[in-house]
């Protein structure tokens, strides 16, 4: 079936650097995407979302980019902090009249002090 | 404002038993979705309920069932537990049936022995 996958399973960055987490999706009909952060032992935390009629959306220290031509999402985190260390998932709404999200396996972001 | 709440936090059951997990959505949210997250993987969609009606069902056996109550809280029931049902069970709520932000609870950690 359709799926969302991540290019890099682990990303290690220095504190203060910018982080970029990438994600590929396969369902060209999907029109809503969400990035989640999940810390150990906790539920996924909503970070930012983007709809298919947009190419870029910015939040506080985070930016999501959507390239529909190559079906690619990225999450950029500015001035990465130790508290950003977690697993990051991109999720794709499956389309149709449901909230079904399709998740990839996640990228572990490790911030080195 | 309270977020999505789930109970219990942890649960240990033996094979063949039955389990009921509970979820209370964010106030004003009418949609509840259930996900199963096996260690090291992204969440997998089980069910969505919106306005007390089933809106979507994932690829899970009939041993899994759910319902939504008039106050929009929800229960997930799993019968005849198998070792492979051991996972983190997550509940997410949203104001809309699709295309809206979804917020997750902390999850229920189910261990089947």
| The CATH number, out of the four listed (3.40.50.920, 2.30.40.10, 2.60.40.10, 1.10.645.10), of the domain defined by the range A4-112 | 2.60.40.10
Percent of chain A clearing pLDDT 90 (strictly above): 76
pLDDT at A25 over 70: yes
Q: Residue A72 burial (CB < 10 Å; 0-12/13-18/19+)?
A: middle
Chain A CB within 8 Å of residue B23 CB: no
Do A44 and A38 contact (CB within 8 A), yes or no? yes
**Mutation for testing the B interface, residue in A43, A47, A64, A88 having most B CBs under 10 Å:** A43
pLDDT tens profile A46-58:
999 999 999 999 9
Identify all chain A residues contacting B45, using CB atoms and an 8 Å cutoff.
94, 100-102
List the domain boundaries for chain A: 4-112
The CATH number, out of the four listed (2.60.40.10, 3.20.20.140, 3.40.190.290, 3.40.50.1370), of the domain defined by the range B5-101: 2.60.40.10
**Is the pLDDT score of A3 beyond 60?**
no
How far is Cα A107 from Cα A53, in angstroms, rounded to an integer? 26
Whether A106 sits inside 8 A of B42 (CB atoms) is yes
Does A88 reach chain B within 8 Å, measured CB to CB?
Answer: no
* CB spacing of A31 vs B104 below 8 angstroms: no
pLDDT tens for B61-88 read: 999 999 999 999 999 999 999 999 999 9
| Pairing label, strands A86-93, A72-77 | unpaired
pLDDT digits (tens, 9 = 90+) for B21-56: 999 999 999 999 999 999 888 999 999 999 999 999
Chain A hits for B99, CB-CB cut-off 8 Å, are: 31-32, 51, 93
Spatial separation of the C-alpha atoms in residues B48 and B34, rounded to whole Å: 6
For residues A17 and A113, is the Cβ–Cβ distance under 8 A?
no
Dist. CA B92–CA A16, nearest whole Å: 32
């Amino acid at each position: 079936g359709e799926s969302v996958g991540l290019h890099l399973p682990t990303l290690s960055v220095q504190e203060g650097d910018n982080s970029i987490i990438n994600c590929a999706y396969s369902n060209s009909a999907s029109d809503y995407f969400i990035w989640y952060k999940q810390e150990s032992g906790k539920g996924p935390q909503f970070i930012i979302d983007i709809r298919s009629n947009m190419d870029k959306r910015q939040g506080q220290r985070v930016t999501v980019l959507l390239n529909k031509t190559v079906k690619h999402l990225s999450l950029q985190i500015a001035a990465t902090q130790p508290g950003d260390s977690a697993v990051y998932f991109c999720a794709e709404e499956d389309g149709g009249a449901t909230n079904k999200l399709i998740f990839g396996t996640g990228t572990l972001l490790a911030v080195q002090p | 404002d309270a977020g999505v709440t789930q109970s219990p936090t942890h649960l240990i059951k033996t094979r063949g038993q039955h389990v009921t997990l509970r979820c209370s959505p964010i106030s004003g949210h009418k949609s509840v979705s259930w996900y199963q997250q096996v260690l090291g993987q992204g969440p997998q969609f089980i069910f969505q309920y919106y306005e007390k009606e089933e809106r979507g069902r994932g690829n899970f056996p009939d041993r899994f069932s759910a319902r939504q109550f008039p106050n929009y809280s929800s229960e997930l029931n799993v019968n005849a537990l198998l070792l492979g049902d051991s996972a983190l069970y997550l509940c997410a709520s949203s104001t809309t049936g699709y295309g809206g932000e979804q917020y997750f609870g902390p999850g229920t950690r189910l261990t089947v022995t």
